[in-house]
Structure 1
Amino acid sequence: MHRPFPGADMRHPLTLPDGTVHTGTVFLKNAIDHPRIDVGDYTYASAHTPPEDWAARLAPYLYPGSPERLSIGRFCQIADGVTFITASANHRRDGFSTFPFAVFDGGFEEGRPSLPQTTDPDTVIGHDVWLGQGVRILPGARLGHGVIAGAGAVVAGEVPPYTLVAGNPARPVRPRFDEATIARLLNIAWWDWPIDRILDHEAAVCGADLAALEAAAQV
């Protein structure tokens, strides 16, 4: 029998053993009000020094008027120092200079030649993704469900589901499970279950009991 789980609408879901609330940990969707960021339920972020503006801390180049979006799934774990470097951070790089002349004299609306003419796609983080301390996610990266990015990794491009990546630039270290297991996990999609159902099967989710998870999925 487990104690009541924090509601998905809580801002500070972590209570320490002495009864105090850990203000450096937030359910992220309740700490961010940004028109270009979507975050799923129960995804949390932590910071040793909690920011006043979580959106600015995590995605400092994503502006309200940016054309791209940042989408983060459910049950993700975002460690201290993680930064999403979205497409609006880019400079034009197909000419002789990358210098953004238009930025310094109000040339945004004019579509000046020193501004990028195209943008990278949205940055998309799947469900149950763990981003370790100091990870950098580059513009347009797409991380599949269950990915783990090791501390300090600089991640670009597409990362298949349930892959462990590390390094700069990040490279696959190994798949977390074999292909058949990954396919079955993606079919189960436990992250879409109600939280009480997930908690009832916590041992199977965290203990890699695939048969029990598949049985629970049929209920």
Structure 2
Amino acid sequence: MIKKIIKYLYNNLKGIKVDFNSKIPLNIIVKDKDSRYPVSIVNSTFNNTSFGLGCKLNNCLCLGEVQLGRFVSIFGPGTVLSAIKGHIKIGSFCSIGQNVSIQESYHNYNNVSSYLIGKNILKDNDSDDFISKGNIIIEEDVWIGSNSIILSGVRIGRGSVIAAGSIVTKNVPRYSIYGGNPAKEIKKRFENSKIDIIEQSKWWEWEVNKIIENKDFFYNKSNIN
């Protein structure tokens, strides 16, 4: 219990609000600090994750190298991000729902057995147990609905929405709504003229105070229409 209390206090001093049920390393990296927007971690486990300002994570599991931008929201239960051969990078202002699986690697079915022989029996370097099509990159302001699966080597473009229950096997263009198994484009979120305005603004790079000052921009009350 004393060790848990020390770890709890240590993390809070670093700008992280973490509960006693979470398992995170002491060398956790928080890229930015602002007392108004601490990183909040509840009932979650991480081993090599870096966090941007204001991230909120609840009931999720991150394995391997996972990079989170500012204000990323991941709410489980059942949400798993797993990177074994490469990494997973999630841009700022992304929202990820319950039971989402983001898998950068998968079992090496080219071996004699697809079972994890190296890890579980040979006690050898288990990297040969897995193969990968590449890193997973999720750009800024992406919303991934519950029960979706994002597979190896996929890039999801900025501003996109992945409908609940989708399986994403290929790249998703920016500002698209994708859904289904395999996921296909349903429609664009906005007309090209509006997308151009959003892209030119680069609002995802704004400081917090600038975001607050431009409230109308985010509620379509400015000249974005």
- Normalised by the length of structure 2, the TM-score is 0.67
| CA RMSD in angstroms, aligned pairs only | 3.2
Aligned to 1:77: 95
Shift of 1:162: 0.3
CA–CA separation in structure 1 for the residues paired with 2:102 and 2:121 = 27
CA–CA separation in structure 2 for the residues paired with 1:41 and 1:179 = 26
State the percentage of identical aligned residues: 21
CA–CA separation in structure 2 for the residues paired with 1:162 and 1:173 = 11
CA–CA separation in structure 2 for the residues paired with 1:27 and 1:103 = 32
Q: Does 1:106 align with 2:122?
A: yes
Deviation sequence 1:180-213 (CA, Å, 0-9, x none): 432332221101001121122222223274548x
Unaligned runs of 5+ in 1: 14-25, 52-56, 213-219
Q: Does 1:91 align with 2:146?
A: no
**Which one of 169, 174, 191 corresponds to residue 178 of structure 1?**
191
Mapped contact 2:137–2:156 kept (Cα < 8 A):
yes
Q: Does 1:10 align with 2:26?
A: no
Question: What amino acid is aligned across from residue 109 of structure 1 in structure 2?
Answer: N
Mapped contact 2:116–2:126 kept (Cα < 8 A):
no
Mapped contact 2:57–2:75 kept (Cα < 8 A):
no
Q: Does 1:43 align with 2:76?
A: no
Aligned to 1:58: 80
Q: Which structure's relative contact order is higher, taking Cα pairs within 8 Å and 6+ residues apart?
A: 1
Deviation sequence 1:117-154 (CA, Å, 0-9, x none): x5221111111111111111111211111010111111
CA–CA separation in structure 1 for the residues paired with 2:127 and 2:100 = 32
Aligned to 2:135: 122
Higher strand share: 2
- Normalised by the length of structure 1, the TM-score is 0.68
SS in structure 1 at match of 2:38: coil
Pick closer, same or farther for the CA change 1:35–1:85 going to 2, 3 Å. closer
How many residue pairs get aligned? The number is 179
CA–CA separation in structure 2 for the residues paired with 1:208 and 1:158 = 32
Question: What amino acid is aligned across from residue 43 of structure 1 in structure 2?
Answer: V
Moved more, 102-111 or 155-164: 102-111
